């Protein structure tokens, strides 16, 4: 078996509004559009996925929140209707997905080897959370690539940010080892918003974009600072700033997906491709890509 590799990582936030705005057949509510710059950002990310042709998509979602350890979807096929408990008016999505159980088990085993508490989710009636589904739909609406779904253990909230993100670092490294050992060509999806300050009331027409803007100016400035650093490949600096960013911008990346993804990619100091940025009920959302496969190909080309 060839050694597996991580082809790319994406910051791939999960506001259900993006699915609602797109009007796919799986989602019951109908919209008049909305949030186009972010949806077009995902269109560009979809093109990359099409070119990369990964074996598997791994997604870490803050909306599958587990208290006892890090959990992994462990049923070969899951289906049902996922209704967002916060935005049921926008997201009632009929999903069906295939799980790469072998890789999920390998990730769980590697993480356990690192001292983390892990658990495989084996209940076939389990309803997959809307964060996982939104990110997966937005990045690959064909649903033709198996997935590994990973829960957000509440360690950054239960312990403290540093200790919690320390666990996510271990989880990311374990994920990389599992991918390499199982020979998978994998794409990682960090399902996180940046600044998470939001409005507390919805406009009467949710997709009325005249009501959409950053809820918090300081949070917006933080988002731009972080995105600018990421676009320049200054990963180390970003992670030095991360605890302050999380605290001052109420950033959702506290839940761990961002750290998990970067740890799995070994914190590459490479420029990110920003596919787009936009707000959703005032929160800051960036769709960004770190294409390791393209980088490796360029390196091979230079060597030749």
Partner 1 sequence: MPIVAAIILPGLPHPVLKPEISAWAQIAAASAAAGKALAAARPDSLLIYSTQWIAVLDQLWQARPEMDGIHVDENWYELGDLPFHIRTDTALAEACIAGTAEIGIRSKPVDYDSFPVDTGTLVAQHFLNEDAALPVVSTSNNLYHDWHKTEALGGVARSVAEKTGKRVAAIGVGGLSSRMFRAPIDPHTDHFAEPGDDAANRALLSRFEAGDCDGVRRQSADMAAAMPTDFGLKHLAFLLGATGGDFKGATVHGYGPIYGTGAAAVELHL
Let me know: does 39 contact 16? Beta carbons within 8 Å: no
3-state secondary structure of 83: strand
Distance between first and last Cα of the chain:
25
Judged by CB under 8 A, which stretch of 40-48, 106-114, 192-200, 265-273 contacts partner 1?
192-200
Q: Residue 252, interface with partner 1 (CB under 8 A)? A: no
Q: Which of residues 131-170 bind partner 1 (CB under 8 A)?
A: 151, 155, 158
Q: How far apart are CA 261 and CA 267, in angstroms?
A: 8
Residue 92 or 137 with smaller CB distance to partner 1? 92
Give residues with Cβ within 8 angstroms of 29, minimum separation 6.
Answer: 20, 89, 90, 91, 92
Q: Residue 64, interface with partner 1 (CB under 8 A)? A: yes
User: How many residues bind partner 1, per CB under 8 A?
Assistant: 33
Q: How far apart are CA 135 and CA 19, in angstroms?
A: 9
Q: Residue 67, interface with partner 1 (CB under 8 A)? A: yes
Residue 155 or 259 with smaller CB distance to partner 1? 155
Judged by CB under 8 A, which stretch of 13-21, 76-84, 101-109, 172-180 contacts partner 1?
76-84
Q: Residue 123, interface with partner 1 (CB under 8 A)? A: yes
Helices (H), the chain: 16-22, 36-52, 101-113, 130-139, 155-158, 161-182, 217-231, 235-249, 257-264, 292-303
Q: Residue 79, interface with partner 1 (CB under 8 A)? A: no
Q: Residue 122, interface with partner 1 (CB under 8 A)? A: yes
Place of tokens 């490796």: 296
Residue 3 or 122 with smaller CB distance to partner 1? 122
Residue 144 or 201 with smaller CB distance to partner 1? 201
Residue 89 or 244 with smaller CB distance to partner 1? 89
Q: Which residues pair with 278 in a beta bridge?
A: 285
Q: How far apart are CA 3 and CA 16, in angstroms?
A: 36
Binding residues (CB under 8 A) for partner 1: these are: 64-69, 80-81, 83, 85-89, 92, 117, 119, 121-123, 125-127, 129, 151, 155, 158, 198-202, 281
């Amino acid at each position: 078996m060839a050694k597996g590799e991580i082809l790319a990582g994406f910051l791939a936030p999960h506001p259900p509004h993006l699915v609602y705005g797109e009007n796919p057949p799986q989602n019951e509510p109908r919209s008049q559009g909305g949030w186009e710059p972010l949806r077009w950002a995902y269109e560009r990310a979809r093109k990359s996925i099409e070119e990369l042709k990964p074996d598997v998509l791994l997604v870490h979602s803050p909306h599958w929140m587990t208290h006892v350890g890090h959990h992994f979807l462990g049923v070969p096929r899951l289906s049902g209707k996922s209704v967002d408990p916060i935005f049921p008016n926008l997201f009632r999505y009929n999903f069906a997905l295939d799980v790469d159980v072998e890789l999920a088990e390998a990730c769980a085993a590697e993480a356990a080897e690192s001292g983390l508490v892990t658990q495989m989710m084996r209940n076939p009636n389990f309803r997959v959370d809307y964060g996982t589904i939104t990110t997966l739909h937005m990045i690959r609406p064909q649903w033709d690539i198996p997935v590994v779904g990973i829960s957000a253990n509440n360690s950054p909230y239960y312990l403290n940010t540093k200790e919690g993100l320390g666990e996510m670092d271990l989880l990311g490294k374990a994920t990389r080892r599992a991918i390499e050992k199982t020979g998978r060509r994998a794409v990682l999806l960090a399902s996180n918003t940046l600044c998470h300050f939001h409005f507390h009331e919805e406009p009467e027409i949710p997709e009325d974009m005249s009501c959409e803007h950053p809820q918090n100016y300081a949070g917006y400035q933080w988002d731009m600072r972080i995105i600018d650093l990421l676009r320049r490949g200054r990963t180390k600096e970003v992670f030095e700033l991360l605890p302050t960013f999380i605290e001052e911008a109420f950033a959702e990346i506290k839940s761990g997906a961002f750290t998990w993804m970067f740890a799995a990619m070994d914190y590459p100091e490479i420029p990110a491709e920003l596919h787009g940025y936009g707000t959703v009920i005032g929160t800051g959302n960036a769709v960004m890509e770190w294409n390791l496969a393209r980088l490796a190909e360029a390196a091979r080309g230079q060597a030749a």
